[in-house]
C-alpha cells in the first residue's frame, strides 16, 4: 500500500470518527454534511489513486512483454506435449480403474461375508429358540 492510499484511508477514518462524534454530541447539521462531503471527496480521490496504480501496473506489464520476447510456437513441440499428456492421462485412468475395481471386489467380499454371518446368526437364534421351546414344553 503506497503513501497516497494510507493518507486517504487515515482521512476517511478521521471523517468517520468526526461523524460518529457529531451524531453522538449533537453537532450542527451543516457540520455533519461538511464532514460527509469531505468523506465523499476522499473516496473519489482514493478511486483515482487506485485507477492510476492499476494503469501504471498495466503499462509496466505491457512494456515487459514485447513481440520480440515472445517465443514462436512450434507445432511439433505442442504435439509432443499433447502426446505426453495423453499418455499420462491414460496411465492415471488405468490406475484409477484398477483401484475402483479392487474396491468393488473388496466391498463385494465384505457384503458376502456379512450376509453369511447374518444367516448363521439367524440360524443360531432359531436353534436357541427351538431349544427354549422344547425345555419349556418338557
pTM over 0.85? The answer is: no
Residue 2 and residue 54 in one domain? yes
CA dist 59 → 1, 53, 54, 66 (Å)? 19, 10, 9, 12
Q: Identify whether residues 60 and 33 lie together within a single domain.
A: yes
Mean pLDDT within 61-70: 56
Q: Any idea which residue has 461538511 for its cell?
A: 34
Residue 77 resides in a domain: no
Based on the domain organization, do 65 and 91 belong to the same domain? Answer: no
Q: What is the per-residue DSSP string for 58-98?
A: HHHHHHH--GGGSPPPPHHHHHHHHHHHHHHHHHHHHHHHH
The answer as to whether 29 is a domain residue is yes
pLDDT (tens digit, 9 = 90+) per residue, 22-61? 777 777 776 777 777 887 888 888 788 878 877 777 666 6
Residue ending a domain, among 40, 70, 100, is 70
Determine the structural domain holding residue 65 and report its residue range. Answer: 1-70
Do both 6 and 52 map to the same domain?
A: yes
- Domains identified in the chain, total number: 2
Amino acid at each position: 500500500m503506497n503513501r497516497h492510499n494510507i493518507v486517504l484511508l487515515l482521512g476517511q477514518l478521521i471523517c468517520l470518527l468526526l461523524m460518529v462524534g457529531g451524531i453522538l454530541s449533537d453537532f450542527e447539521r451543516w457540520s455533519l454534511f461538511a464532514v460527509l462531503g469531505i468523506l465523499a471527496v476522499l473516496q473519489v480521490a482514493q478511486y483515482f489513486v487506485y485507477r492510476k496504480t492499476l494503469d501504471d501496473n498495466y503499462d509496466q506489464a505491457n512494456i515487459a512483454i514485447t513481440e520480440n520476447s515472445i517465443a514462436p510456437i512450434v507445432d511439433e513441440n505442442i504435439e509432443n506435449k499433447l502426446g505426453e499428456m495423453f499418455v499420462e492421462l491414460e496411465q492415471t485412468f488405468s490406475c484409477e480403474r484398477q483401484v475402483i475395481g479392487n474396491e468393488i471386489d473388496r466391498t463385494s467380499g465384505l457384503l458376502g461375508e456379512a450376509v453369511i454371518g447374518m444367516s448363521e446368526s439367524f440360524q443360531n437364534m432359531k436353534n436357541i429358540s427351538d431349544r427354549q421351546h422344547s425345555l419349556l414344553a418338557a
